[in-house]
Amino acid sequence: MMGYFDRIHAGIPLRDVEIIDLHAHLGPYFNMHIPSSEARDIVRNMDLCGIDKAVISTTMSFEADIVLGNTMMLRALDSFPGRLYGACGVNGNYPDLSLAELERTFSRPDVVMIKIHPYNSKCRLDDPRMDSIFRFAAERQLFVLVHTWLDGDPYGNQDIFAEVAQAQPQIRWIMGHSGGPYGSRHAVELAKKIPNIFLDLTLSMCPARQVEYFVSEVGSERVLFGTDNPYIDPRPQVGRVGLAQISDEDKINIFSANARRHIAFR
Amino acid sequence: MTKLRFFDCNCSIGRVGYPHLLDIPDVAGLRREMTTAGIEEALVYHATARYGHPPLGNALLLDEIQDQRGLYPVWVLLPHHTGEMARPAQLLDEMKEKGVRAVRLFPGRTQHGFSLADWCAGELLSALQSARMLLFLDIELITWEEVHALLQKYPRLPLVLANCSYRHNRFLYPLWERFANLYVEMSRFMGAGAIEDVVRRFGSHRILFGTNMPQYTGTAAVGRLVYADISRSDKEAIAAKNLDGLLGEVWS
């Protein structure tokens, strides 16, 4: 069996390890042209590098219409059962509608997470209007993925995220983007203090040695694979984890074993 | 598929005041990142030339990469008016002597404090064009209107935009339709399917392999290109041959 380095440099998809992307989306988007934005494009790009499953939400849910966004998400799940799973998009500006969307989407077994984007919705993560959403997540001990940034984000920066995560210990919190390209150190500080925080690798500006740093500081069991597909292409992230200077066991944890421990993919 | 040869157009050495994560200041650190990613060669500028002072950083660069096989110097330049750098003709002679075939400019008030307009940088840009020197500009530091003006005024100056992201296609495509001398390095050009789309519409010669090591990892850009849904020859072009060709035209 060729090692990760040789297989990646040969352009061979990583088929011997399951890869589950917990941070993916569905296009299109007002702010950019996305050449591969539809569900079939997303799955095609997953196939090219060996990603087996992706949990998707739509940014449509945060800056436009959560009902439309979640409906688009569910249609994509119908088109690719077993490959695409759902993260219900919620928006604190619409607490009742968000709860209704949670009830609607979680009636299906293939919706497995919640996605919150405080910055895009301009509703702070600790806003009281989020409480019913958190109750729903806590009762089911769900993964909640939150877009976070180190600074310049008064709605969902890492410190707000950490305070909420600490106050909601039943929920498994994914620190989306781990605070962005300069947020790695603070992400580790917070993850060490708060055990229900998981670190997300999704980024377009990937700091050198970030994967190795996270694994050495908090352990590979707390690091999750994500790509931002299709806003960002998924293939760089496969290269990043596959070529990282960590053990194969750590790579397996990140690629999918951690996700499998906490989510029942049916 | 045998391993591609990677020639990275976007690397640096030298300590920065605000690192993304780790302090990787020297050639050994860059080499370690290159080895991890499987990248053989790189164009390198010195962080001190960007964040300290260009003449000092350029001198440090030559000193630190001398005898370093596979690392090639990129100088950071200023217009000559203040006397901090020689007039363009003399500067080019020095660059030719020292083997410098690519340059970076950091215009703007918050960067190196000069304008790309003719009254300020015109003499320098004309000289760079006459040498077919490879010019790198960071798109986060200039406007798209400045890019358009530069491409129109200097059609034989190869311009590489660094730091173009997945959000920039709507700016880039109309420029690529009009100008043959525009290139993008791929350290942040990571939109889903973007490489394939650009190759199909404009050709693989428009993209150069770049990583921004050692601030970023090189492994992400490698992963993007090795798994690209394009031909082997297009991958080879992006990985190294496009840069080989552009550097080969300098001084021609």
ipTM: 0.96
pLDDT < 70 stretches in chain A: none
Interface of A with B in 15-54 (CB under 8 A): 27, 31-37, 41-42, 44-45, 48-49
In this structure, whether the domain defined by A19-262 belongs to CATH 3.30.300.30 is answered with no
Cβ B21–A233 below 8 Å, yes or no? no
Size of interface A-B (CB pairs under 8 A): 158
B231 burial (CB, 10 Å; 0-12 / 13-18 / 19+) is exposed
- From CA A27, how far away is CA A69, in angstroms rounded? 10
Contacts of A13 in chain B (CB under 8 A): 227
**Closest approach of B182 to chain A, Cα-based (Å):** 19
Q: What is the DSSP string of A161-183?
A: HHHHHHH-TTSEEEEEGGGSTT-
B28 in contact with A, Cβ within 8 Å: no
Cβ neighbourhood burial of A104 (10 Å; 0-12, 13-18, 19+): middle
On the 0-12 / 13-18 / 19+ scale of CB atoms within 10 A, A75 is exposed
Total Cβ atoms within 10 A of residue A15: 10
Query: What are the residue boundaries of the structural domains of chain A, listed by start?
Result: 19-262
Which residue in the set B2, B4, B217 is minimally distant from A209, CB to CB?
B217
Which residues 168-207 of A are in CB contact (within 8 Å) with B? 181-182, 184-185, 204-207
Q: Provide the pLDDT for residue A27.
A: 86
Of all residues in chain B, the one with the smallest CA distance to A13 is B227
Domains parsed from chain B with CATH numbers: 7-248 (3.20.20.140)
Considering only CA atoms, which of A106, A178, A176 is closest in space to residue A142?
A: A106
Whole-model pTM? 0.97
> With contacts defined as CB-CB under 8 Å, which chain B residues touch A209?
21-22, 24, 217
H helix or E strand, kind and range, residue A145 = strand A143-147
The pLDDT value given to residue B1: 79
Give the whole-angstrom CA distance, residue A28 versus residue A25: 10
Q: Which residues contact B200 (CB under 8 A, 6 or more apart)?
A: none
- Structural element, H or E, at residue A86: strand A84-90
Give the closest residue to B150 by CA, choosing from B136, B170, B163: B136
Phi, psi (deg, nearest 5) at residue A67: -70, -45
Chain-chain contact of A208 with B215 (C-beta, under 8 angstroms): yes
C-alpha closest to that of A64 among A56, A75, A72: A72
* Rounded-to-integer distance, Cα B4 and Cα B37, Å: 12
Low-confidence ranges of chain B (pLDDT < 50): none
